[in-house]
Each structure stands twice: as C-alpha cells, then as structure tokens.
Chain A
C-alpha cells in the first residue's frame, strides 16, 4: 500500500497541530448566496429555496447559470441549475425554462462523454418534469444515444412525462436494448406509464 506511510505521517502531524488542514475547493466567482444555493453535496434546492435567493427572476437566472459556458463557469453549478429548472412546473416562466432545456438537449445530444452528458441528462429529466407530453418528441431520439446512462435517463424521463405517446418508443427500444441497466429503466418507465393509465 503505497500511500500508507506518507498518509500516516501527515495524519500524525495534523493531530499534533489539533486542527485539520483547510483544502477547500475554490468557490467560483459570483454571488456567494447563489453559489451556496447551487452547490449542495446531497440535495438540489427546492423551488421555494431558489425563489428566496433569486426572487422573481429565478428562472432567467437559472437559465443564465445553466447556459454559461465561459471558462469561469462551474460545471457543478450548471448541472444543478439545469436540474432546478425542472421544479418550475406550473410557473408562468415554465415555457421559458422548457425552451432552455430543449436547447440544451439539442446542443448536447450528440456528445458522447464528459460533463456535457451530465447537462444533457439533467435537461432531459427537467424537461420531462415540466413539459410532460410535449417533451416526448425531444426525448425519444435520446433512446438511441451511445451512452447507456443517457438511454437509461431518457427512459426514466419518458416515464415521468406520464403520457401514452411515450409507451411505443420505449417498447421498441426494449426489443433491441443490449444493456440490462437500460432495460430495467425501460421496464420501470413502462410500469409508471401503465399505472397512470
């Protein structure tokens, strides 16, 4: 075990000092409240929490963060911003959010690896949540995506739409899908769609 002696030494030094060594990941530039809002390790903020921080312009702000592809932008914040847009179902800004999510699916749909796939997945699930049956046509093309994670997320998203139009594409994919993970996601989605009548 190569690291053990080095690490034990470090631990002993730290113990003697009585404190930990702060090695915090540097926070991106921007409003600290917004950065904090969109950087939780184990949760995505609720709409009410977002609205407290971002106010009436929350959807526009989230879109701005999600679509910020500048070098200074933070991927973690962007992913959570895409995902947070999925909470604005029934909101006057829903259409604006849905348009942004469709743009993301179009922009990143051809990617095969890396962070952009995470943007794609977050966008698909958010779009399904706020646009229901209208999202099916944007989503079904992703059932043939080369990444099995995207295909599984697509099946999940189609299940979330809750519309019968999602059933046939899922069944068709199920016949040729090689990955067990995706087939199980399709089965879950079909069950969800079936249970919704």
Chain B
C-alpha cells in the first residue's frame, strides 16, 4: 500500500470515528510530528503509527531510527543497496557485471519496470517490476530481512554472469522450507548454471522428458569451486567412484546434493550438464524439462499419502486383521495405525523426521482395475502417475507385485521430490506380504522403500556393493539392508541424507 493510500484510509477512519477535534492519535490531521501522540508520526498530513521497518512506510520512503518515515530522494543512476534507497517509481537494480571483481554486484536506482512483484514466477529480469529474476522468482535487493515484503527474507544469492562467471548479491527470497523453480532447455542437451543460495541445505535437480524411451538426467556436475561432483561413466567402477551416486533413467531422474552424509553444500553457481539421449543410438530428440528444488531451512515434516487400489477379497485378509484395507479401514484400524504407521514413525524418528497427525488416504478402487495387481514395469510407472500429492511421499498399496516374493518397489533412487504424477512419484507395497509377515515387518519394508525414495542406497546390496555413506556399516541390522531379515538402524550419515530430502517441509 502506498503512503497516500494508507493515510487516506487512516483519515477516513479518523473522520468516521468522530475524533476529528483536538485528537493527536490515528487519523488526526497534522502538519508536524509534534502534533501527534508519541507513538504516532505525521505522515502525509495525517497522524499515523510510527514505523519499525521500511515496508511500513511504502515505496520511496525509509523508516528512520525515530520510527518516522522519510521520503527518499534519488536520481537515476545513484548507487543503492536496497529497494528502499530509491524514490517512488524507481527500483534498485543490479549492475550487469561485477565491475570491480569483488564477487559482489553493485546496484543503482533505475526506473521501475512493469513486471511481477517479489515472489512472482519469472524467467528473465524483465519479467519483474524490480528487474531482478532470481531462482525463478522475482526478487528485490535488500540489506536485512526487514527490507523484504512479509513472508520473505534477505539472503545472499549467487547470480549467473555469462558462461563461467558469477557474483553474489543480497536479495529477498520466499521464507519457505523448499523453493522450487523450473529451468527451460531448448535442446536435448546443454549446460545449466544453477545458482544455490547461502541458506540452501540441499538441492534436487529433476530432469524429465515426456516419452518413455529417452534416458534423461544429469551427466556432469561441477561445484562453484570447480570440484567435480559427478561425471557419468560407462563403467560400474566409475559409477561407484563418483562423489554423488546417481544414474540417469528413463523419463525422469533426480540428483540430490549433498548425498552421502559428509558432503557440505557450497553456495554459488553449479555447472550442471543435462542430457536426453537414446542409447545406444546416441543423442536424443526430446527436450528435458528441468526443475530445481532448494531445501532452504531445517524442516523435518514428511507428508504421507496412502493410495489404496482395490484390495477386496485379498488372499491374505484373514491374517491382516483388516477385512478390506482401504481409506476408511486404514484410518480406523488399530493395527494399521499402531503397528504399521506407528512403526514407520518410530523408524523415521531416528532421523528426527516426523509425520503430520493425519496422513492423507486416497481410494483408487474403481479408477484403475488393471493396476490392482502390478505385473510389469509399465504397470508400475502407470501406477506412480496416479500420485497427486504435492508434498512428501506417495505410498501405494496393491494386491501383488511382479514377481511373487517381491514386497515393495520404487523406480529410481532417489525419487523426484515435489513432482507428482510422474513415473517415479511414489513407492508401492504389496499386500501379499501380510499372508506371512506382520504389519510391523511390513512397516520396515515400507520404510526401506521410503528411504530409497529419499536418497538412501542399500547399505549392502545382493552383490556386496555398499552405499556411498562412510559411517553406515553393511550389517543386516540396518534399515537399508536389502533383505527381509533386516533391522531399522540408521547411521548418522544416513540420517543426515534423509534430513536433507527436499520433499520435507
């Protein structure tokens, strides 16, 4: 709200309240601050509450130490440090380059644009009123968080300058647990320069194509200090040697960094090569859609959405303690709530991850009878496309999985956070297991798959390959042990990887 609009509202309130004579409180007409009560200032000739921050004053005004709004006078081209250093109709705009090479960008007052306000999605600077598009959202320059609109905070953010240069600036960024942005590519492969702000704990890069035949994903990642974090390898040894354990996959793949429990994120611009290809034939024709999800603060709530296919008359219903597992019975069943959900909660509690009091439950009884029992990988991918949860994890209950004896499946490690409706957007659990296992055991099975979706590899796989986390042993007591007869232990490094999952809120 502008100062004039605010004071007009204040004045009308004052007149309506009958306080027009002799008052020096809110809405009283005034010529100077001294005519108003101590907690008020004279603003646009109306007594108004004193300010505590620039944004209380409106565009073109600054709040001084006495709580008084002062009009700012600036000429185009005057140097500025935040939006509040410039006049009405001006924006504090970053210089295009780091002219003095100090890794910090200078800025000056320029004419305000006509684009979106802070927080609006954008592709380029011109899309924003203050000529600053950062991390896919309009921003503005700031010195402190009070300089930013409500719901935003002031952060050190890297800015891409050309193909190999970058510098930092202080800008307003949404005060949220995860900030997501999409990046457009114009060809089937290319290098993206991905800025990672100082407050990011982790980030996920999700690459997708709209067909089922392209292999898509990241082929190389270099850190801001030019440390090679990942390079796609033709050999299995090369795959294991990468600091980030990751492999491209068909349709969608997700790379999360940090990924091994000891890596530290480095603010700055990461150079990321993305490719959609058609092996063994070579380059692909599809153009990847890339999204980046920044985990910006310590968040530890994992939303769960349970989807139930048609499980009526299941062969194991006599041993499962629930006649027909669905949305209603899951909500009201003690065994589901206590033995199953309770145990999952226990397991993730070790990583300080908690769940909302009420998970989401969704019946899919009639929609897709062809997916009641999963018979192949295509079924599995079609099943996960039914996930419509924006946050957290999607867990599907089906009658059976291929082959008999398989109890749970996901499609990629990790799965894509905040990407519903895709072929890897969930995990699936077969109800078959309840013919011969308890709900508590099924909880461990589910938790194993959930942790894979969040980025944990098996602590030891059937071939003896261990995970990339230094402090996780290869014992059967670990949650990520590949077999049924495993435990629920998590090492500190494993817990850290889970806590960095950008699907937490």
Residues of A within 8 A of B (CB): 1-4, 6-8, 10-12, 14-15, 18-28, 35-45, 49, 74-76, 79-80, 82-83, 86, 113-115, 117-118, 121-122, 125, 147-149, 152-153, 156, 179-181, 184-185, 188
> Total A-B residue pairs with C-beta atoms closer than 8 Å?
184
Q: Specify which chain B residues have a CB less than 8 angstroms from the CB of A35 in the assembled complex.
A: 483, 485
Q: Specify which chain B residues have a CB less than 8 angstroms from the CB of A37 in the assembled complex.
A: 462
Question: Apart from A114-B315, A125-B403, what 18 extra A-B contacts exist at CB < 8 Å?
Answer: A3-B337, A8-B354, A15-B352, A20-B350, A25-B441, A26-B485, A42-B406, A43-B406, A43-B462, A44-B404, A113-B315, A114-B319, A115-B436, A149-B400, A181-B369, A184-B369, A184-B370, A185-B375
Out of A2, A22, A122, which one reaches B488, CB within 8 Å?
Answer: A22
Instruction: Give A65 Cβ to nearest chain B Cβ, in Å.
Output: 12
Known: A24-B476, A76-B437. A41 touches B369 (CB 8 A): no
Out of B317, B337, B405, which one reaches A44, CB within 8 Å?
Answer: B405
Known: A27-B485, A121-B404. A10 touches B349 (CB 8 A): yes
Identify which of residues 372-415 in chain B touch chain A, using a CB-to-CB cut-off of 8 Å.
Answer: 372-373, 375, 399-400, 403-410
Chain A, Cβ-Cβ closest to B317: A113
Known: A83-B403, A181-B373. A23 touches B485 (CB 8 A): no
Out of A1, A3, A25, A122, which one reaches B403, CB within 8 Å?
Answer: A122
| Residue-wise interface mask of B (207-234) relative to A, using a CB-CB cutoff of 8 A (1 in contact, 0 not) | 0000000000000000000000000000
Most buried by B among A28, A152, A156, A181: A181
B489 located at the interface, meaning its Cβ lies under 8 Å from any Cβ of chain A in the complex: yes
A14 touches B314 (CB 8 A): no
A1 touches B435 (CB 8 A): no
19 inter-chain pairs at a CB distance below 8 angstroms, sorted by A residue, are: A11-B346, A15-B350, A18-B492, A22-B489, A23-B440, A23-B444, A24-B477, A24-B488, A37-B462, A40-B462, A41-B483, A114-B316, A115-B316, A118-B432, A121-B404, A122-B405, A125-B403, A149-B399, A149-B400
In angstroms, Cα B407 to Cα A38, docked, is: 12
Instruction: Give A148 Cβ to nearest chain B Cβ, in Å.
Output: 7
Q: Specify which chain B residues have a CB less than 8 angstroms from the CB of A82 in the assembled complex.
A: 404
Identify which of residues 476-496 in chain B touch chain A, using a CB-to-CB cut-off of 8 Å.
Answer: 476-477, 479, 482-490, 492
Instruction: Give A11 Cβ to nearest chain B Cβ, in Å.
Output: 2
In angstroms, Cα B354 to Cα A148, docked, is: 38
B485 touches A20 (CB 8 A): no
In angstroms, Cα B379 to Cα A188, docked, is: 12
Chain B, Cβ-Cβ closest to A124: B404
| Residue-wise interface mask of B (408-435) relative to A, using a CB-CB cutoff of 8 A (1 in contact, 0 not) | 1110000000000000000000001101
Known: A40-B462, A75-B436. A113 touches B318 (CB 8 A): yes
Known: A7-B346, A117-B315, A181-B372. A25 touches B310 (CB 8 A): no
A125 touches B314 (CB 8 A): no
Q: Specify which chain B residues have a CB less than 8 angstroms from the CB of A23 in the assembled complex.
A: 440, 444, 487-488
In angstroms, Cα B342 to Cα A42, docked, is: 23
B36 located at the interface, meaning its Cβ lies under 8 Å from any Cβ of chain A in the complex: no
Interface residue tally on B, bucketed by range: 35 or more
Q: Specify which chain A residues have a CB less than 8 angstroms from the CB of B337 in the assembled complex.
A: 1-3
A24 touches B315 (CB 8 A): no
B122 located at the interface, meaning its Cβ lies under 8 Å from any Cβ of chain A in the complex: no
In angstroms, Cα B441 to Cα A8, docked, is: 20
A118 touches B350 (CB 8 A): no
Q: Specify which chain A residues have a CB less than 8 angstroms from the CB of B405 in the assembled complex.
A: 38, 40, 44, 76, 79-80, 83, 122
Out of A18, A25, A43, A147, which one reaches B485, CB within 8 Å?
Answer: A25
In angstroms, Cα B100 to Cα A42, docked, is: 57
In the A-B complex, the 5 residue pairs with the closest CB atoms:
A11-B349, A75-B436, A80-B405, A122-B404, A24-B487
B435 touches A118 (CB 8 A): yes
B484 touches A39 (CB 8 A): yes
Instruction: Give B8 Cβ to nearest chain A Cβ, in Å.
Output: 50
Instruction: Give B21 Cβ to nearest chain A Cβ, in Å.
Output: 59
Known: A118-B315, A122-B404, A148-B313. A20 touches B487 (CB 8 A): yes
